Structure formats: C-alpha cells, structure tokens
Amino acid sequence: MNVFTNWFKRNFSDPQIVILTMALVVSFVFIIYFGRALAPFLASIVVAYLLESVIVRLEKLKVPRVVAVTVVFLVFVAVMFILLVWMVPKLITQVTQLVQALPNYFSTGLDFLRTLPEKYPQLIQPDQVQSLISKVTAEVTVLGQQMLGKTVSSVFSAFSIAVFLVVMPILVFFLLKDKQQILSWLRQFIPRDSKLTLSVWHEVDVQIGNYVRGKAFEILLVGLITYIVFVFLDLEYAILLATLTGFSVLVPFIGAVAVTFPIALVAFVQFGWTAPFAYVMISYGVIQVLDGNALVPWLFSEVNNLHPVAIIVAVLFFGGVWGFWGVFFAIPLATLVNAIIQSWPRTLVATESEPLNQ
C-alpha cells in the first residue's frame, strides 16, 4: 500500500499533472462513448490537418488566410468531385463484377483442392480434402446468408455515406477558416496554470499533423503505383485491388497481409499456376518491401515510430470499441497516445547511490 501511495504522491503532486490527467480522461471518455456518432467530425479533423499544411505554406507567401483557405478548399472539393465521378463508378462496377464472379472463383478453388491428392498423394489424402471442402462450403453458405441479411442495413450505410459527403466538406471549411476562434474557445475551458497540458497538446498537434500528411501521400503513391503495375500485368479488377492496397497502409502489417489474399485469388483464377501469377505476386511483394523500407522511413522521419506490437494492440483495441472506424483511426489514436507518453514529465527519483555522489 505504501508503494502505491508513494507512487501516487510522486506522480500526481504537481497540479499541472493533475490538470493534464483530467483533460486526458475526459477526452478519451468522450471519444469512446461518442466517437461513432462523431465520425464525420473526426474525419473532418483529419482532412483539416491534411489541408492545413498547404494553407500554412500559402500564408508564408503573404497570401491572406481567408484567400488561402478558400483556394485550398475549392481544390479539395474539385479533387473529391473528380474522384466521385471517375473513380467511384469504376469501383462500383468492378465490385459488382467481382461479386457476380464469386461462384466461378469458388468452383475454381474447389477444383484445385480436388487435384491436390493426385499431385501430392504422400502429403494429402482424399478424405482430408473432402472434409476441407465440406467445411469451406458450409462457411460460404453461412457467409452468403449473412450478406443477404445485411441488405437492409446497406441502405443505412448508403445514408451514412451521403451524410459524410454533405457534412464533412462543410466541417472542413469552417475548421480551417475559424481555426483560431475554435482554439480560443477551447482554451477557455483549460485552467490558467496548465503549461504542461498546452505543451502536450503542441506535441500531439505536431505528431498528428505529420502523420496525417505522410499517410495521405503514402496511400496515394502506393495505390497509384500498384494500379500502374496491375494494369501493365493485365490483372483483372486492377483499380479495385489497387485501392485496397493503397488503403491497406492505414493498418501496417495486418493490412498488407489481408490484401494479399484477394490479389492472390484473382491472379490465380485468371492466370492459374503460371508465370503471370508469379509476376503479380512478386510485384506486389516488391511494392510492400519498398513501402515499408524506403517510403515509410522517408515520410515519417519526424514522427515517433510505433512498435509493431503497439500497432497491433491499437488496431485490436480501437477496432473492438468502434468497429471499422476504430481500425481506420487506430494508428492516429496510437500516435496520439505515444505523443502524450513522450511529452509526459519524467520525475527524477532519488536512489540510494545519490548520497555517494554528494
């Protein structure tokens, strides 16, 4: 009990630490309970972080902030409109085609499994293959029933997307335009003697800003390069698979592994065990290696690196709390937590060796 009491006095005797702790607790409780409802607002903050760097550069060129915000926002809306008009219809078409082709993919997979005992009689027995086919068939049947049951909920998903498309641009514009007013309004709720809280906020602000800008560029570059490579290799559903690959970088390690399966499945059904299949998989592997070992260190040299264990734990925790959006924002939130830990004051603890040094 004395150990806990001493630790509490040592770490929470400073009023500034108490203020920071209370601010963090209130913020995380608010986000955990209202994060799902405020998803458009949180996404707008991410986009605002992305565009703020461009606005700051324009301000350094003596461009008034109102003009800079208006120009950057209009460019952002134009880019989003082009993506909606050009890219989204193609994605919908390819998703529809892929869904229609799933029975053929399933049949091809079963035929491949049935040939394994003939090719590797010493390793695989016909009974094992038949048992596996029965299990896969049962799982696919259950999955199909679940997808059919979610048809009604897809209407609400479409409504949520519509809300995003309407509300998010408005929020982004006002977050950029009235940034100083919003920050001034928030500061009135922070006690005056809160230098530590403001210091932590500055560190978090820098880290999140660097992460958002770097990750947006990484998504764009990885997705574009993947699309060019897949088109060159004449792989079906190139834009869909390239989009999945681009967004997979949001969840390091796990995302790359997860996207490997649909790419391998499409390439196998299209090419079989041939050289083009190998070219697709080797190209995808090279892109992932270059992304992890060259692009990421270059883009995130100013961001605190997260250990792979921390990334996986963040994905599991926030994904369990918020589902898809928890996975989507897991790394920014983990970066935020890491920035707080890095900024947290280190208390100097006296040791028994100190009297010897006096």
Give one DSSP letter per residue of 98-110, joined into a string. HHHHHHHHHHHHH
Q: What is the dihedral of CA 130, 134, 135, 139, to 10 degrees?
A: 150
Neighbouring C-beta atoms of residue 169, cutoff 10 Å: 16
Place of tokens 């094992």: 128
Q: What is the pLDDT of residue 357?
A: 44
Q: What is the pLDDT of residue 223?
A: 92
The pLDDT profile of the chain, 358 residues, written as one tens digit per residue, is 566 666 656 555 556 666 667 777 777 777 777 766 777 787 788 788 888 888 888 888 888 888 989 999 999 889 888 888 888 788 888 888 887 777 777 777 777 777 777 777 777 777 777 777 777 777 666 665 555 455 444 444 555 666 677 788 888 888 888 888 888 887 777 766 667 667 777 777 777 777 777 888 888 899 999 999 999 999 988 998 999 999 888 776 778 888 998 899 889 888 888 899 999 999 999 998 888 777 777 776 655 566 677 777 777 787 777 766 676 667 777 777 776 676 666 554 444 444 444 4
Q: Is the pTM of this model over 0.85?
A: no
Long-range contact set of residues 219-223: C-beta below 8 Å, sequence gap at least 24: 219/246, 219/247, 219/249, 219/250, 220/246, 221/295, 222/246, 222/249, 222/287, 222/291, 222/295, 223/247
Answer yes or no: are the C-beta atoms of 113 and 129 closer than 8 Å.
yes
Q: What is the pLDDT of residue 224?
A: 92
Place of tokens 């500034």: 16
Q: What is the pLDDT of residue 152?
A: 41
Q: What is the dihedral of CA 142, 147, 151, 157, to 10 degrees?
A: 140
Give the helix ranges, DSSP H, for the chain: 2-12, 15-34, 39-60, 65-82, 88-119, 126-149, 151-177, 179-187, 195-232, 238-248, 254-271, 275-290, 296-299, 308-322, 324-328, 330-343, 354-357
Q: What does each C-alpha distance from 125 to 135, 151, 213, 221 come to in angstroms? A: 16, 40, 53, 46
| Pair of tokens at residue 341 | 């830990």
